[in-house]
Amino acid sequence: MAAERTARDKNPVSRLGYGAAALGNLYTEVTDSQSRAVVDAAWEAGVRTFDTAPHYGLGLSERRLGAALAGRPRSEFTLSTKVGRLLVPDPAGERRDTEGFAVTTSCRRVWDFSAAGVLRSLESSLERLGLDRVDVVYLHDPDDHWEQAVGEAVPALVELREQGVISAVGVGMNQWQLPARFVRESDVDVVMLAGRYTLLEQPALAEFLPLCAKRGVDVVAAGVFNSGLLARHEVPDDATHDYRAAPEDVIDRARRIAAVCARHGTTLPTAALWFPFGHPAVTGAVVGARTEAEIRVNVAALAAPPPPGLWAELRDEGLLAADVPTP
């Protein structure tokens, strides 16, 4: 995969990024050596954009990613982290995490989108990463914190951008409506949109993506596999969608898409990874991986686009609307 940057003025992201939630032991444990091997494999395959967050394993992902990137030329990769969940000592002491990460920790997460909170969070992230800067800082899931996020967090990060401390200010969410407000009413450069513009469903198409294109705000597609549903060509009965068991009708739709993919000599994950790039507002995609093989498969999938006939048949089958742009 070519490691070209696709910057739009302010946002230095590359086409495919590695989302490092798995390095924080998302759902299951991975070792330090496994984490290092995945990042090494991503680097060797040409990936030069990496995304993490304090939320991922309560700092474990940041520590592991920073260690794996140590010694790499800093000018050759783009790194993003997130703010909004401040890690503080837990008065209850050491305990197992209850938010999806297989870690034992003496810290807890506190929602904080205040100016002081996001600056403190970023400083702590840099310490865990072992770096002196990150390129992009996202507000992480400010769904219930609009007033503080837009009134304090965004201005604090914009000031850092103007000082040259960071390159871009972003917001990362699993919905499109509130990010649209950030695009309209604040000075964000990029939105990481998870699961709302995928091969399976495109609720962000009508309003959000045209808004971003008009305002010059980049969109990084995350959750392109809809939390696993589109990650395998053979869709299993126990597939997940939006982090819960997928309904039967959703599984059936995914299988119908997979069947069309097979008729055109490609796979469901390949089509799912390519799909968001059909819209001009989408400048990058971030995908996770737990193993070296997974990251190599994802990179290989972007080597060549699916044949145009695939998208035409999906439209004919009623699986894509006529107005949905395709690669």
Q: Domain spans of the chain?
A: 16-316
Q: Is residue 30 classed exposed, middle or buried when 0-12, 13-18 and 19+ CB atoms within 10 A define those classes?
A: buried
Rounded-to-integer distance, Cα 85 and Cα 112, Å: 6
258, 251 contact by CB (below 8 A) = no
Given pLDDT bands bounded at 50, 70 and 90, which one contains residue 9?
very low
Q: Other C-beta atoms within 10 Å of 274: how many?
A: 22
pTM for the complete prediction?
0.95
- Percent of the chain scoring above 70 in pLDDT: 96
What is the 8-class DSSP label of residue 268?
A: H
pLDDT digits (tens, 9 = 90+) for 165-214: 999 999 999 999 999 999 999 999 999 999 999 999 999 999 999 999 99
Whole-number average pLDDT of the chain: 94
Of 18, 27, 56, 138, the catalytic one is: 56
| pLDDT of the residue at 13 | 53
Q: Is 138 a known active-site residue?
A: no
| pLDDT of the residue at 243 | 84
CATH H superfamily, domain 16-316: NADP-dependent oxidoreductase domain (3.20.20.100)
Answer yes or no: is pLDDT of 8 > 80. no
